[in-house]
Amino acid sequence: MATFYYTKTHEYIREDGGEYYLGISDHAQQELGDITYVELPAEGAEFAQGDVCCTVESVKAVAEVYTQLALKVVAVNERLEDEPELVNQDAQGAGWLLKIELADTGVLASLMDQAAYDAMEK
DSSP state of 112: B
Look at residue 51 in the predicted model and tell me its pLDDT.
96
Alpha carbons 33 and 85: distance in angstroms, whole number: 10
Q: What is the tens place of the pLDDT at every residue in 49-97?
A: 999 999 999 999 999 999 989 999 999 999 999 999 999 999 999 999 9
Other CB atoms within 10 Å distance of the CB of residue 1: 5
pLDDT-based confidence at 121, cuts 50/70/90? confident
Q: List the domain boundaries for the chain.
A: 3-119
Look at residue 103 in the predicted model and tell me its pLDDT.
86
Residue 60: HSE in the Cβ half-sphere, 13 Å Cα cutoff = 9
CATH code: domain 3-119 is: 2.40.50.100
